[in-house]
Structure 1
């Protein structure tokens, strides 16, 4: 019987390289060489001098600047919901921009019903709306546009129907997560920026055009990351959540967002980036799978205008994915890949983690992962403070992924 493949070859017009023999030799920029040309030799020096430089380069060249100082407020939206059979408690919250009293999004908090103290949490945006996470509770249908997916209950005009209730429960296995003693916090990413070119007028970005003394260059990915940071602002006032043990969690484009959220906000205790690919954990200079040109052509709203200058010019990027991951040091990080998800470049994702690991070595936390000349085998996770796995199958989040993420969180966060 012929094996069914879930390999994705990109949007129409894409011609990705999936041949390792066609990956040209490349040289990664030096994590430890400052703009002034000095090599840093201690973690304290890297953290105080080099890290701010790298963060600034990402703001200028990739993600753009964001109104990180903006103040938000939140309030409960409706009554608490309880499923006694699954021992899950759910509460919706409205998130507002203070100086506009503008509703930004609703975030949902799922916690263990019988927890006697605050619990650690996974915080991440969702793709189809809060109602898609579970059918255990009656949650409002999202009213924000998403790409039409009739098979998943999103109609031809891009809006949720009742058929979307619970369709992404496999991506957010609440029963498994809650039983392990963790909470889940999520919001609909399209509330903040609908995921389409030209989506800015429907996004939250215009709220800041006249409310600030400066303009911001943020793209959609940075806007979703900003949402994670603003929800994080609220968690200190939600008694059920241990705000010292919150893990930024994201899949695909939202894996890119969670890396950037964790890079900007050191309150996140850990970061899990699942199949985040180009602009996330994969090395751009490999020119394998999704490339800068693909994003600029099909998804130009994701990053800032400067990012366009790297189309077919990845070798001149001032940073690469190991720089982005390095901004999370010395915290716990998990990068995950899938065997058939060549578009996200599994080998490049692992290479990004290996390259970044030098900063953790400088901290004295773990051995340098550069001793790994080959990737871990499929289904054989690397379980360290810098964790990695590649599983069989395609671009998705599965029960296998969550089993590894929960083990990782038990070991390094809980």
Structure 2
């Protein structure tokens, strides 16, 4: 399901069914968040000197003037992509040592123009175990820990940030185990609580059967998922409640920072093999997972699900979600303020980097790019595949295997022989159907 359609479904459900009805307080919270978001968006536009933004693609109305394009013949507006193996001065990258230098150039471009820079002095995190108990999941004995990571807010006590984490590991294995860390979804503050029942996830059982663990970091506990929240969360704390400036980090980098703090904790937990920790996320959290893997080289593997623009999908393609959508008031908070320029005075081709270089930053570590089919065109499945193809020369330079073909495969074809892998399942905007393939891929590195 497209992100807009999911939101519309949730909103429509509120009005169609009594159990979804907003209370006056919830309605007030939603209205206030929207108002503060627009105010913050206007502030960043003013800082950038931008007076007009091009509209994003409309994924809901195929007859709209700005309807999202799903015609492959119209997708490749730009064909000249940045080359990750060419230095900014035009010289070629020919060795692994060269790549380490080139990698820093690419990181700088992503930080300056796309995801933003981290502050120099981010406060420390102290982890506390809130609860530890034994559970049984499908006949497997599991140790489950619930933790809170308290961020030092002594510099600005008005804002508290407490990272919410749960970790489950098989109890019958006495040696440290690999763990997959997932960005967990949090409904907005105004949404009715306990709206949907908890669902059993087969992928968790399958991980446990492999002798691996799983963990869930609530992304919203690190940084709110709206523009109004940019003066809250870890971004707000480091800015002491003030508006950010255009070069500063957005929510994707903030969520990635939170995942890195979880890995800090894992390095001290004797139940976990911190050298075999993977990162995963779906949709916006797929974007965050790829950013995490790219910027923190300690993560061993990535399962990047339906991440779309701002994740694994190429910015220069006109298919589904485009730059203007990510730069809009509904999504700009994910990125640095500077990114908005590419939906206004500049265009997509002016970006100094693209998604294939984000994937290249993950090299030589393995990455699995995942997408759906029916209802998942918004994230441009082929654009993500092409990004994997364009990232592969970096893996090959580092004596790893790139993706096994440059030809877009049929749906449900698993390309998992290389260290860059891809599969498009035949369901919609969901992650679950590709877990089995990912586990098969990951066993090469975790077992």
Q: TM-score, normalised by structure 2?
A: 0.79
Correspondence for 2:392? 357
Conserved 8 A contact 2:308-2:378 = yes
C-alpha spacing 1:68/1:146, structure 2 compared with 1 (3 Å): farther
SS at match of 2:363: coil
Residues 223-242 of structure 1 aligned to structure 2 (within 5 Å): 223-242=254-273
Correspondence for 2:188? 146
Q: CA deviation at 1:200?
A: 1.8
SS at match of 2:166: strand
Range moving further from structure 2, 244-253 or 304-313: 304-313
Correspondence for 1:135? none
Residues 308-327 of structure 1 aligned to structure 2 (within 5 Å): 308-311=340-343, 313-327=347-361
**Is 1:118 matched up with 2:172?**
no
Q: CA deviation at 1:179?
A: 1.3
2:167 to 83, 94, 109: 109
**Is 1:160 matched up with 2:218?**
no
**Is 1:42 matched up with 2:95?**
yes
C-alpha distance after superposition, 1:212-243 (max 9, x if no partner): xx987111111111111111111011111100
**Is 1:179 matched up with 2:231?**
no
Task: Give the whole-Å Cα distance in 1 for the aligned partners of 2:215 and 2:264.
Answer: 13
C-alpha spacing 1:104/1:337, structure 2 compared with 1 (3 Å): same
1:10 to 59, 62, 65: 59
Unaligned runs of at least 5 residues, structure 2:
6-57
1:307 to 336, 339, 358: 339
Range moving further from structure 2, 249-258 or 345-354: 249-258
C-alpha spacing 1:110/1:79, structure 2 compared with 1 (3 Å): closer
**Is 1:51 matched up with 2:103?**
yes
Q: CA deviation at 1:196?
A: 2.1
Conserved 8 A contact 2:103-2:361 = yes
**Is 1:336 matched up with 2:370?**
yes
Conserved 8 A contact 2:126-2:151 = yes
Correspondence for 2:55? none
Task: Give the whole-Å Cα distance in 2 for the aligned partners of 1:309 and 1:6.
Answer: 23
Correspondence for 1:89? 143
Correspondence for 2:52? none
Q: CA deviation at 1:165?
A: 4.8
Q: CA deviation at 1:413?
A: 3.0
C-alpha spacing 1:194/1:25, structure 2 compared with 1 (3 Å): closer
2:84 to 19, 25, 31: 31
Task: Give the whole-Å Cα distance in 1 for the aligned partners of 2:240 and 2:373.
Answer: 46
Task: Choose between structure 1 and 2: higher helix proportion.
Answer: 2
Task: Give the whole-Å Cα distance in 2 for the aligned partners of 1:25 and 1:193.
Answer: 34
Range moving further from structure 2, 372-381 or 258-267: 372-381
C-alpha spacing 1:31/1:45, structure 2 compared with 1 (3 Å): same
C-alpha distance after superposition, 1:293-350 (max 9, x if no partner): 1122231211111111111711111001111000001111110111121100011000
Conserved 8 A contact 1:40-1:46 = yes
Task: Give the whole-Å Cα distance in 1 for the aligned partners of 2:428 and 2:174.
Answer: 39
C-alpha spacing 1:219/1:412, structure 2 compared with 1 (3 Å): same
Conserved 8 A contact 2:357-2:391 = yes
Correspondence for 1:200? 230
Conserved 8 A contact 1:82-1:89 = yes
Q: CA deviation at 1:382?
A: 0.6
Unaligned runs of at least 5 residues, structure 1:
129-144, 148-156
SS at match of 1:45: helix
Correspondence for 1:375? 408
How many residues align? The count is: 378
Task: Give the whole-Å Cα distance in 2 for the aligned partners of 1:81 and 1:160.
Answer: 27
Conserved 8 A contact 1:270-1:413 = no
Q: TM-score, normalised by structure 1?
A: 0.85
Correspondence for 2:286? 255
